[in-house]
Amino acid sequence: MPRPRRRLASTCVGTVTAGLLATGAALAAPGDQSGTSDIAMGAYLDYGPPGVARIPYLSRWLGGKEIRVGHTYLPGDQWAGIEGNVDFLEDWAEWRQERDDRMFVLNVPMQERNEARVPDYQVAQLIRAGADGQYDRHFKKLAERLVALGVPDTVIVLGWEMNGVTYTHRCGPDPENWKAYWKRVVNTMRSVPGQKFKFDFTPNRGTDAIGWTKCYPGDDVVDVVGMDSYDQGPGRTFDDQISQPYGLQQHVDFAKAHGKEISYPEWGLFRNGDNPEYVRRMLQWIEKQKPLYHTITDYCPHGVWQCKQNPASAKAFRDALMPQKPGPVIPTPVVPSIPPIPTPEIPTPVVPTPPVVPPTPPIPTPEIPTPPVVPPIPPIPSPVVPPIPVVPPIPPITIPEIPPIPSIPSPEVPVAPSPEVPVAPSPEVPVAPSPEVPVAPSPEVPVAPSPEVPVAPSPEVPVAPSPVAPSPVAPSPVVPKPTPEPPRPPAPTTPPVNSTEWCVPINFGEWLSKLVGKQAVCVKVDWGRESGYWPF
């Protein structure tokens, strides 16, 4: 779309001032903008100082949303204006320098008499002159001016809407030389020390006079691929604007294919009047595509804030961009409560509830008594009866007659057993548990004590010791096995001299001897003088 001429801006001053006064009372204080899109947003409000002054008012109207893009145009009637020899650039430079995240967008014409309706043959001549370098000095002055003002990172929208028929800097009359002219301008401005410019190639949406891809000068001299898109044909609906040749979708695809960012320097209402559906869809499209920036053209008939003839679109614009703030907290009124009426307490019989699961009886842990220290019980050996010695007959001996001496009987003293008879039990015989010591049961499996089976020896028949040991009785795993001690043999007694009686004690073992007493087999031999055998 053509930039409004200065005469249009002059005639609208009164209308704009009245609108500002009417809306000033309704301006809200800036608020939190958390949750809103971080895409840089702006609006064209005026080319000079009034445009700068209106930015905070627009921000308040939007509920405190930050306006990060300042957008204006250089006049294209004379080369002096294109060189930046205008006063309002200083105001925009000061606004830009106030915050680092702000962006200054400047539309720069490529020819003087840019809106003079110059015919195509003259446009072709001007394009060739520019391609030959005849206008380089003008753009060098502009670059030096912007660097000197402290805005070397300005976004330069050079020769905008070149695919249309409105401006003298249009591309259609000579596309090839136009691309060569664009390259000379960009290279000239980039040659100025300190510059950080971004060059925005921005056609009009649709085919218009020429397909805008035929005017693309090359990736080396383009930083951003923009598009001006107003609510007008071709296409009635927003879906048509997306899908049409050289439309919104082709614009996005082309920029992606060339590795460039996109922008929407101009958009707004036009042929279809107050159209809130267009405003909603355009803002949704911008939010989806994430451009470097976008600015709405806010004067009649395109605008939504300064132009009061589009109230429905203004509401749609404001609702979409206002930050979502939590509503005021309304305190809950305190209502005095009615004192409660006491209710008589009716005792409820308590019925014990039987447990669903019977309690698990505790498993008693058996106490394992410590066995007292009991002297070990020797095994019960079979009684050993030594054979009775056979005394050989003594031949008669002639003994001289000696007066008789009364015989004194010797006391019965047990004779020590022959050393040839072993008394100690075999080590292979297991120790039988004492009948008086109870065997503690195992914590898991109780073990009954072994029954007492004493072996009664026959007093008349001598029994030889059996080499076969009785069946061992397994002691309880809890009670320790006592270590057997060898039985103590009786102390040897010295037999009296010249005794007439020999006695051999019978060893039944300590335990059986307690029951039957000490027994012995005695043989009496009369060695007296009267026996005839006394040798002395």
Q: Profile the chain (536 residues) by mean pLDDT over runs of 10 residues.
A: 44 41 38 59 97 98 97 97 97 98 98 97 98 98 98 98 98 98 98 98 97 98 98 92 97 98 98 97 98 97 97 97 70 54 56 51 54 50 50 50 47 42 41 40 41 41 39 40 47 52 69 70 60 48
State the Cα angle at 275 between 270 and 276, rounded to 5°: 130
The answer to whether residues 303 and 268 touch, using CB atoms and an 8 Å cutoff, is yes
- pLDDT by residue (tens digit) across 293-322? 999 999 999 999 999 999 999 999 999 999
Last residue of a domain, one of 321, 337, 359: 321
Percent composition of the chain: helix, strand, coil (DSSP 3-state, to 5): 25, 10, 60
Q: Nearest Cα to 74, choosing from 163, 6, 171?
A: 6
Which pLDDT score, from 0 to 100, does residue 242 have?
A: 98
Residue 402 lies in a domain: no
The pTM (predicted TM-score) of the whole model is 0.58
In the prediction, which pLDDT does 92 show? 98
Would you state the pLDDT for residue 401?
52
* CA of residue 386 relative to chain centroid, distance: 94
- pLDDT tens-digit series, residues 189-235: 999 999 999 999 999 999 999 999 999 999 999 999 999 999 999 88
Residue 346 placed within a domain: no
- CB under 8 Å to 36, separation ≥6 — which residues? 65, 321, 323, 324
Residue 513 lies in domain = 501-531
Q: Indicate whether 49 belongs to any domain.
A: yes
Q: Look at residue 383 and tell me if it is in a domain.
A: no
Close Cβ partners of 464 (under 8 Å, ≥ 6 residues apart): 382, 384
Instruction: List the beta strands (DSSP E) in 115-174.
Output: 155-158
- Whether residue 196 lies inside any domain: the answer is yes
Q: For position 163, what pLDDT does the model report?
A: 98
Could you tell me if residue 351 is inside a domain? no
pLDDT at position 234, please?
85
Q: Domain end: 286, 305, 321, which one?
A: 321
Helix axes 49-61, 13-24, angle to 10 degrees: 30
Domain membership flag for residue 369: no
- For position 324, what pLDDT does the model report? 75
CATH number at residue 60: 3.20.20.80
476 occurs within a structural domain:
no
Count of structural domains within the chain: 2
Distance of alpha carbon 393 from alpha carbon 409, whole angstroms: 23
pLDDT on residue 231: 97
**For residue 263, what are the β-bridge partners?**
226
Tokens of 170: 């249009």
Tokens for 187?
A: 């290279």
Is the bond preceding residue 446 a cis peptide, omega within 30 degrees?
no
Among 259, 290, 321, the domain boundary falls at 321
What is the C-alpha to C-alpha distance for residues 172 and 210, in angstroms, rounded to an integer? 6
Residue 464 confidence (pLDDT): 40
> What's the pLDDT score for residue 466?
40
